[in-house]
Structure 1
Amino acid sequence: MLLSLTIRDFVIVDRLELEFEPGFGALTGETGAGKSILVDALSLALGERADTAVVRSGAARADISAEFSLAADSALSGWLAANDFPADGCLLRRVIDANGKSRAWINGTPATLAQLREIGERLCDIHGQHAHHALLRADAQRRLLDAHAGVEALARDVAKRHAAWRKLVAARAAAERDVAASARERELIEWQLKELSTLGFDALEWQETEAEQRRLAHAASLLEASSAALAALEEGELPVLPLLQQASSRLTELTAVDANLGEAAELFEGALIQLDEAVLALRRYRDKLELDPARLAELDARIDAVTQLSRKHRVPPEELPAVQARLQARLAELTLAADPALLAEREQEAETAYLAAAQELSAARKAAAERLSKAVTEAMQTLAMAGGRFEIALTPLAEGDAHGLEAVEFFVSTNAGQPLRPLAKVASGGELSRIGLALQVIASQSHVVETLIFDEVDVGIGGRVAEIVGRMLRRLGSSRQVLCVTHLPQVAACAHWQWSIAKENRAGQAASRVTVLDDAGRVEEIARMLGGVSITETTRQHAREMLGL
């Protein structure tokens, strides 16, 4: 569950450090006070995208941290360990700079936004203010059903298998259509591969060839330079090395007369040692160096062959192996394309694999659709839609698509005796809010996440229905942590705990303030929510009755 949320310089929040409790908590306050801002901040910590507008005016960056409890043996601990994050707790942090740069950490270790989003989906489920409007879209209806059935991973697998199958369908059709063109391309690639194979290019061998060619190409100059150096030192008519050796011996003798000469004599002697070693090294080098015009011509020819082929393929010589690999891969594709029967066989295998996964998905959807339809229909009886019905229709598709073998559509009848019609065509704003909330609450019960957040999803309801919604959330809060941003006193009164969010002026800037309410504070806040310019004792008494105080 969510333990704490720390927010710095986010929209109108300068600094907030919040500690959360288990059960059902209500976040209340006047419009514009910043209730939904807290949810938005948490969304960013869970991996949602952000822009610079979220950084508080005048601040360099927004900084948000969210800490969640974590059982040592939970699947989430395994995920953290598998992704090289410390598994001792769960602390998510997100920083958005004013220049647009965003950074993220998980347990103090840098993380990608995708990793933050992946772990966020395992920790918290957020239902936004307009979630019920999204239910009018077919894709949102399908995703909600799949989430309720727990088959999101299977649905993604079906989409991948469908893409693989359709790719092979297109490849077979192209092969049948472009047999002549494919044959010409295959012939060209085979010839190019033969050239590359004959060349036998190797990156290490290429480096050695270039080095040897440079050495042989300059062999005369290298031989002349090394011989001249040896002549000057030892082998010439006036070699300097014997003269230097005599001078060194004389200096060494004279150190007995004046010890101050010792440092110079030692340095002179050390220089002579270096020169002796230089003479030996030059002799070895000169003895190995040879003029070999035949070998030089051979190396020049090799370099010319490699250079010409690299120019033909418009790449540096070092990239010729990569060119060869790409051509081999393309030849394999063309070889397969040249055999429509083999393509048809693979196409059939891919279709069979797709159908097997899609049929498994269909079975899970059918069972989940029956459960969800029944549960929402029962909920409608208590949400001022007595006699109403809710049903999820699974309409078969002739060949299936990336989403499976059926189209998913929500149907509803809001009054007894009325026929079922698509949700988008029959539900009024208030009815849609109630049906959407029932769907979200019921679907959330099947999720494995411990924290559920509802951000003003109760818009459009009131009175007795609002109290029923509050009780639904309270029951859900008995097994999960549930947070609800609400303007309805009937919902807030059902919460196990309550916070009041208000906006105040600090140093000329608006800022949000959060107050943890005790029983007396809750009475005052519920009374305010009940309405009226001034709060009377009658209003307070009504609030106490709602709270059961």
Structure 2
Amino acid sequence: MLRELMIENFALIDRLSLEFGPGFNVLTGETGAGKSIIIDTVSLLLGGRSSWEQIRAGAESARIEGVFELEERPEIDNLLAGWGIPVGDDRLLVVSREIKMSGRSRCRMNGQNVTVLTLNEVGRLLMDIHGQHEHQSLFSPVFQRALLDRFGGEHLKQEAARVAELYTKWQGVKKELADLEMDEAEEKRRVELYSFQLQEIEAARLQPGEEEELSRERNLLAGAERLYTYVSEAYHRFYGRDDGGAILDHLGTSVEALSRAAEIDPQLRPWVETANRVACEVEEVARELRAYRDQITFDPERLNQVEERLDEIAKLKRKYGPGIPEILDYAAKLRKELASLSDRTARQQELTQQLATLEAELGRAVQALSALRRETADRLETAVMEQLHEVNMGKTVFKVALNRIPDPRDGLEINGEKVAVGKDGIDQVEFMVAPNPGEGLRPLARIASGGELSRLMLVLKVILAEADQIPAMVFDEIDTGIGGRTAQAVAEKLLLLGCTHQVICVTHLPQIASLAHHHYYIEKTTHDERTTIKVRALDQEERVEELARMLGGAEVTTTTREHAREMLQLAATLRSDRNRT
């Protein structure tokens, strides 16, 4: 159950701390007071979508924190342990969420950072929220099928997962087989194209690194004349000038003069050695330059050959890849594709056999799932009819129709007929209702009033909460479109649900509010031109005033107060009776 809720800088809430109790909790207040904002914060704690627009004006971030008291449930314990989230002996789970102006949010469980997906996974086991706009989702056949499957429990879930897995494999084989079963002209065109491309690449006899080597050789051949001139000039300046201006001649004269100086001053001998070494190194450079100059080749014909080869490589690059390695990779892919096309007949036979096997398996699986859904539908019908009696809809007939859609072209053959199939099987689920005796069954979307939808949704939520073992439930204005005896029946159903679950309900009806174990009042106030929302738990006398307001509207009279006290006394008696049973 949700024990505490702390909110900071969210929507119209500045700072708010709220403690919920076990059993049946109600939130009431004037229209527009912000009751649903509290539900929105709970939704965020359970992994709902966040937005920077939810941050209170003038604040940089909003923060919501909830303290949940966990029941002893292996499912949730294993889930938290798998994510490394610690749970102490007190069985408390502290969930927090911070929303920033950037739109990003930070989520934590017992101090450990988690993702929104993790919040959602854990949240679905902690609470079930019925929002104001969920009525319309009950019209959707997809939503109705999901409700039916949830009621079916783990066995049905496993069968549905097996159908989804087989369907995915079946679709994959069908697609691959369709790709192979192209017309002969298309196959011939592809073979011719791939063969031409592969022949063009193989004829070029490309080698890794060849382009780089050819580029270097082209640069040398194209610059051979200038290279010879520069190297010759350097050599002559070092060694080969006849006018006595060669560097080596000057170095020799300098070494000789320095040697004579060293005979006078021995301190100059290291300089003599250095000068000798320099002279030797210069002489070595000169000899190497002469050897390099003599091997420089002037070969215009080879240059043309290199240019032509580089042009050939450039054309292949424009067609098949940015470089030789990519061109060679493309050639390997062409060989593989041609081999695959050559083996098409054998692969077609293999896939046809696989498809037949998968179709048989999928056919058996969807029929097993359909039979299990029919059994589950019968149980759901019985459970709903029993619950409808308790919310003043005892004459209503509720049925779950399971239909199949014919699909002669792409369907799956079931008992000699091809029917549409998807990852959820072959069943089209539709809830059918006859609200009054003598009326035929019609789809829910075409017959139910707002009040009937509210009660039916409440009944379904109660049934599914028991099936899923969800410990807490939230109802945001479940009382839409109801009043009088019906409102009393719904209130008693919520009270009964509160005997085994924690229930948090936003309501406008005094019948519902009077039966709550805990009553909270929400009000909107303005101070220093800033609007904020406050929530406080009501004591007995304050509950009388609030129920009187709900009964009488803007004017609270002695009569409405007496009526409110009477409602609370009757509610206390009813709660006592429920506790004894």
Q: TM range, normalised to the smaller chain?
A: 0.7 to 0.9
- Say yes or no: does 1:470 pair with 2:473: no
Contact 2:191–2:341 at 8 Å: present in 1 too? yes
- Say yes or no: does 1:126 pair with 2:136: no
Q: In the superposition, relative to structure 1, how do residues 69 and 336 fare at CA in structure 2: closer, same or farther (>3 Å)?
A: farther
Which residue among 350, 355, 370 is the counterpart of 1:347? 355
Q: Once the two structures are superposed, what CA deviation does each residue of 1:428-471 show, in whole Å capped at 9, x if it has no partner?
A: 33223222221222122212433321111221223333333233
Give percent identity, aligned residues only: 36
Query: Using the alignment, how far apart are the partners of 1:439 and 1:301 within structure 2?
Result: 80
- Say yes or no: does 1:178 pair with 2:183: yes
Where does residue 265 of structure 1 map in the other structure? none
Where does residue 572 of structure 2 map in the other structure? 548
Where does residue 473 of structure 2 map in the other structure? 452
Which residue among 418, 421, 429 is the counterpart of 1:401? 421
Contact 1:9–1:61 at 8 Å: present in 2 too? yes
Where does residue 538 of structure 2 map in the other structure? 517
Which amino acid in 1 is paired with 2:372?
A
Q: In the superposition, relative to structure 1, how do residues 468 and 177 fare at CA in structure 2: closer, same or farther (>3 Å)?
A: same
Where does residue 252 of structure 1 map in the other structure? none
Q: Once the two structures are superposed, what CA deviation does each residue of 1:178-237 show, in whole Å capped at 9, x if it has no partner?
A: 2330343245346656777999999xx76xx788778878899999999x99xx9xxxx8
Q: In the superposition, relative to structure 1, how do residues 422 and 18 fare at CA in structure 2: closer, same or farther (>3 Å)?
A: same
Worse-matched range after superposition: 296-305 or 402-411: 296-305
Look up the SS of the partner of 1:27 in the other structure. strand
Contact 2:218–2:307 at 8 Å: present in 1 too? no
Q: In the superposition, relative to structure 1, how do residues 328 and 116 fare at CA in structure 2: closer, same or farther (>3 Å)?
A: farther
Q: In the superposition, relative to structure 1, how do residues 542 and 188 fare at CA in structure 2: closer, same or farther (>3 Å)?
A: same
Look up the SS of the partner of 1:405 in the other structure. coil
Q: In the superposition, relative to structure 1, how do residues 486 and 358 fare at CA in structure 2: closer, same or farther (>3 Å)?
A: same
Q: In the superposition, relative to structure 1, how do residues 65 and 528 fare at CA in structure 2: closer, same or farther (>3 Å)?
A: same
Quote how far apart the aligned CAs of 1:504 are: 0.9
Query: Using the alignment, how far apart are the partners of 1:201 and 1:19 within structure 2?
Result: 77
Which amino acid in 2 is paired with 1:500?
Y
- Say yes or no: does 1:534 pair with 2:556: yes
Where does residue 56 of structure 2 map in the other structure? 56
Look up the SS of the partner of 1:32 in the other structure. coil
Query: Using the alignment, how far apart are the partners of 2:71 and 2:537 within structure 1?
Result: 27
1:430-509 matches, cutoff 5 A: 430-509=451-530
Quote how far apart the aligned CAs of 1:156 are: 5.9
Worse-matched range after superposition: 501-510 or 49-58: 49-58
Query: Using the alignment, how far apart are the partners of 2:469 and 2:305 within structure 1?
Result: 71
Where does residue 385 of structure 2 map in the other structure? 377
Where does residue 27 of structure 1 map in the other structure? 27
Q: In the superposition, relative to structure 1, how do residues 196 and 501 fare at CA in structure 2: closer, same or farther (>3 Å)?
A: farther
Contact 2:5–2:67 at 8 Å: present in 1 too? yes
Contact 2:392–2:489 at 8 Å: present in 1 too? no
Q: Once the two structures are superposed, what CA deviation does each residue of 1:28-59 show, in whole Å capped at 9, x if it has no partner?
A: 22221111112122323333334444333343
Worse-matched range after superposition: 369-378 or 493-502: 493-502
1:295-310 matches, cutoff 5 A: 308-310=315-317
Where does residue 243 of structure 2 map in the other structure? none
Q: In the superposition, relative to structure 1, how do residues 300 and 520 fare at CA in structure 2: closer, same or farther (>3 Å)?
A: farther
Query: Using the alignment, how far apart are the partners of 2:472 and 2:304 within structure 1?
Result: 77
Query: Using the alignment, how far apart are the partners of 1:525 and 1:534 within structure 2?
Result: 9
Contact 1:34–1:512 at 8 Å: present in 2 too? yes
Query: Using the alignment, how far apart are the partners of 2:394 and 2:163 within structure 1?
Result: 38
Where does residue 255 of structure 1 map in the other structure? none
- Say yes or no: does 1:105 pair with 2:129: no
1:346-365 matches, cutoff 5 A: 346-365=354-373
Query: Using the alignment, how far apart are the partners of 2:98 and 2:317 within structure 1?
Result: 48
Where does residue 14 of structure 1 map in the other structure? 14
1:324-335 matches, cutoff 5 A: none
Where does residue 193 of structure 2 map in the other structure? 188
Query: Using the alignment, how far apart are the partners of 1:298 and 1:139 within structure 2?
Result: 71
Which amino acid in 2 is paired with 1:129?
Q
Where does residue 262 of structure 2 map in the other structure? none
Q: Once the two structures are superposed, what CA deviation does each residue of 1:404-444 show, in whole Å capped at 9, x if it has no partner?
A: 22221111222344433322333333223222221222122
Q: In the superposition, relative to structure 1, how do residues 211 and 392 fare at CA in structure 2: closer, same or farther (>3 Å)?
A: same
Which amino acid in 2 is paired with 1:483?
I
Contact 2:76–2:125 at 8 Å: present in 1 too? yes
- Say yes or no: does 1:95 pair with 2:115: no
Which amino acid in 2 is paired with 1:342?
E
Query: Using the alignment, how far apart are the partners of 2:530 and 2:323 within structure 1?
Result: 60
Look up the SS of the partner of 1:135 in the other structure. helix
1:56-455 matches, cutoff 5 A: 56-69=56-69, 74-80=74-80, 82=82, 86-88=85-87, 89=93, 91-97=95-101, 101-107=103-109, 112-150=115-153, 151=156, 155=160, 158-159=163-164, 161-166=166-171, 168-169=173-174, 172-173=177-178, 175-176=180-181, 178-189=183-194, 192=197, 308-315=315-322, 338=345, 339-397=347-405, 398-402=418-422, 403-455=424-476
Query: Using the alignment, how far apart are the partners of 1:542 and 1:466 within structure 2?
Result: 17
Look up the SS of the partner of 2:482 in the other structure. coil
Worse-matched range after superposition: 72-81 or 14-23: 72-81
Query: Using the alignment, how far apart are the partners of 1:453 and 1:325 within structure 2?
Result: 61
Where does residue 250 of structure 1 map in the other structure? none
Query: Using the alignment, how far apart are the partners of 2:251 and 2:476 within structure 1?
Result: 92
Q: In the superposition, relative to structure 1, how do residues 349 and 105 fare at CA in structure 2: closer, same or farther (>3 Å)?
A: farther
Query: Using the alignment, how far apart are the partners of 2:19 and 2:251 within structure 1?
Result: 85
Query: Using the alignment, how far apart are the partners of 1:198 and 1:67 within structure 2?
Result: 74
Q: In the superposition, relative to structure 1, how do residues 57 and 318 fare at CA in structure 2: closer, same or farther (>3 Å)?
A: farther
Contact 2:45–2:97 at 8 Å: present in 1 too? yes
Which sections of structure 2, spanning at least 5 residues, go unmatched?
A: 88-92, 238-245, 259-277, 406-417, 574-581
Contact 1:380–1:389 at 8 Å: present in 2 too? no
Query: Using the alignment, how far apart are the partners of 1:527 and 1:401 within structure 2?
Result: 56
Number of paired residues?
A: 514
Quote how far apart the aligned CAs of 1:522 are: 3.3
Query: Using the alignment, how far apart are the partners of 1:49 and 1:432 within structure 2?
Result: 26
Query: Using the alignment, how far apart are the partners of 2:64 and 2:335 within structure 1?
Result: 51
Query: Using the alignment, how far apart are the partners of 1:125 and 1:321 within structure 2?
Result: 59
Query: Using the alignment, how far apart are the partners of 2:185 and 2:359 within structure 1?
Result: 27
Look up the SS of the partner of 1:40 in the other structure. helix
Contact 2:33–2:523 at 8 Å: present in 1 too? yes
Contact 1:382–1:465 at 8 Å: present in 2 too? no
Q: In the superposition, relative to structure 1, how do residues 71 and 433 fare at CA in structure 2: closer, same or farther (>3 Å)?
A: closer
Query: Using the alignment, how far apart are the partners of 1:200 and 1:480 within structure 2?
Result: 78
> Please, what is the CA RMSD of the aligned residues?
4.9
Q: In the superposition, relative to structure 1, how do residues 81 and 443 fare at CA in structure 2: closer, same or farther (>3 Å)?
A: closer
Query: Using the alignment, how far apart are the partners of 2:199 and 2:68 within structure 1?
Result: 61
Q: In the superposition, relative to structure 1, how do residues 41 and 440 fare at CA in structure 2: closer, same or farther (>3 Å)?
A: same
Look up the SS of the partner of 1:538 in the other structure. helix
